[in-house]
Amino acid sequence: MPGTPLETARILANHYGHVLEPTNYVRGVGISGRLRLAAIDSETPDPSVEIADLVAASITDAAFDKNSQSDGSVHSGFAWSSDLSGSTNDNRYVANLIRYANLYLNIRDDGFPQPVDPDYRVEDVFFVGAVLGRAYEATSDSRYADALIATLQKVHAQSGTGLWHHCGESPFYWGRGNGFAALGFAEALTYLDKDQAGVSELTQKHVSHLDALLRYQDAGGAWRQVVNEDDSYLELTSTSMIGYALARGRRQGWLDESFNDSLERAWAAVASRVREDGTVADSCTGTGPLATLEEYRIRKRENGYDDRGGSLALWFAVEYLTFLDGR
């Protein structure tokens, strides 16, 4: 069974991030993970040429015309764009991502970017962080930072628990939903300037959420399918996403050493759910808003090859490895 972040990342990179279509964050994160691993591991062959061929059809005008009609789950599927532009010195990839970011500059009457779900699903915290953050990094155009900051200022965890509901029609503390919030804020804070108006407030909001989550971390390091339900199963994707946020926060400096133990235990929980053949365990299947708490509790666990679980575990493994290496 894999153990170290490097061993686990190498295994996962052999199995995930090799398919993009249909484009969505699930596959995009895997592609990004492969590129990031090659950038820090001299024994991992550079996959840039292979990935450039893989994604060639996705950066055409026809693909944009189709995908621009979709939501953030598709737009954030291009999170690899900055990684690939960096490894190839080809700006076409990040230029394509910026086209999607421009969609988020169209603000509705409720103050949210047009692609954000009207019921304010927590998934959108990650989608806006991934897309607008990278666009701001690439361009230094304050419009992207302003739209990102304004969006994250308008959404909040629940005051009683510090946890995030899935959305208005599903007021339940779904594990991956809280993972989306943690991951989305971590992505946003990576790219925003610390002295920008509102960023200090967003950092505090993010750290408060992580503090709340730590109260629900299982002794073995994982978070549950329903975060605050003790009889809910321990779940891979939420643990990978929260673990990534912890590792990124420690690496970037907005989290202090008090988070180290939780980060180490989160890694142990993820590593124990990855097999030598790249299959994973306890990964909640694709999930839209559900009507009852019980539906979240019994939502299917994927045990085997799973793009979502494998890709998110890969991203966490590489981020944790990067932190441990002091990069």
Query: Mean pLDDT throughout 102-128?
Result: 97
Residue located via tokens 């900055």: 82
**What integer is the mean pLDDT of 195-215?**
98
Q: Please state the rounded mean pLDDT for residues 173-193.
A: 98
- The structural domains of the chain, with segments of one domain joined by +, span 5-324
Over the chain, what is the mean pLDDT?
97
Write down the CATH number for the domain with range 5-324: 1.50.10.10
Q: Residue 182: which residues within 8 A CB-CB, separation 6 or more?
A: 206, 209, 210, 213, 241, 242, 244, 245
pLDDT band at residue 279 under the 50/70/90 scheme: very high
**Does the pLDDT at position 176 exceed 70?**
yes
Whole-angstrom Cα distance, residue 213 to residue 190? Answer: 20
Residue 7 is predicted with a pLDDT of 97
DSSP summary character for residue 70: S
Q: pLDDT exceeding 70 applies to what percent of the chain? A: 99
What is the pTM assigned to this prediction? 0.98
pLDDT at 206 over 60: yes
Task: Please compute the mean of the pLDDT values over residues 237-244 and round it to a whole number.
Answer: 99
User: Quick check: 190 pLDDT over 70?
Assistant: yes
Length of the chain: 327
CB atoms within 10 A of CB 228: 15
Confidence of residue 266 (pLDDT cuts 50, 70, 90): very high
Average pLDDT over residues 226-254: 98
What value does the mean pLDDT take over residues 102-119? 97
Q: Which residues contact residue 195 at a Cβ distance below 8 angstroms, ignoring those fewer than 6 apart?
A: none
Q: With bands split at pLDDT 50, 70 and 90, how would you rate the model's confidence at 71? A: very high
The predicted structure's pLDDT at residue 152: 98
Q: What is the mean pLDDT of residues 28-35?
A: 98
Burial class (CB in 10 A: 0-12, 13-18, 19+), 39: middle
Q: Which string of DSSP letters, residue by residue, matches 188-199?
A: HHHHS-TTSTTH
Specify the pLDDT at position 2.
Answer: 60
Q: What is the mean pLDDT of residues 194-205?
A: 97
Q: How confident is the model at residue 3 (pLDDT cuts 50, 70, 90)?
A: confident
pLDDT at 1: 52
